[in-house]
Amino acid sequence: EPWKSKIQEEELQPKFNHQSFFTQAGLSNRSCADGRSVSSVLEQGCSGFTQAEELKLFLQSFSSGARKLTEADTKDLLRTGDQDGDSKIGMEEFCSLMKRSEEV
């Protein structure tokens, strides 16, 4: 049954840790201008915000062969980055998310 293999694949995926990712990618010590540049790559429309569907493709924005984030990873990243509760991450919120990764 195909759904069983999909569930097993999801269970094998390591939990995404955005703080470690930002640190290892060298993004945690970047300026807000750099954060805005990264944020604009992530958001696929011209809304100025990154939404859940775009966050799923977060890793693929950095490497086309990377995996999609799981639902749990996406919700965690959105919950952590969304400071005003509008269910999306704006450029300033993304910058703040990067800066908070420095503290780890």
Residues 40, 91: contact at Cβ < 8 Å? yes
- The CATH code for residues 25-101 is 1.10.238.10
Spans of all domains in the chain: 25-101
The helix or strand, by DSSP H or E, that contains position 42, with its residue range, turns out to be helix 32-42
* Residue 73 in marked binding region: no
Label each residue of 79-99 as H, E or C. Answer: HHHCCCCCCEEEHHHHHHHHH
Its pTM surpasses 0.85: no
pLDDT tens across 11-49, in order?
A: 555 788 888 888 877 778 788 888 778 777 777 667 778
pLDDT at site 104: 54
pLDDT at site 3: 43
* Residue 34 in marked binding region: no
pLDDT tens across 76-92, in order?
A: 999 999 999 999 998 88
* Residue 49 in marked binding region: yes
* Residue 82 in marked binding region: yes
Q: Position of tokens 């759904």?
A: 3
In the Cβ-directed half-sphere of 81, how many Cα atoms lie within 13 Å?
30
* Residue 88 in marked binding region: yes
Q: What is the mean pLDDT of residues 44-66?
A: 81
* Residue 92 in marked binding region: no
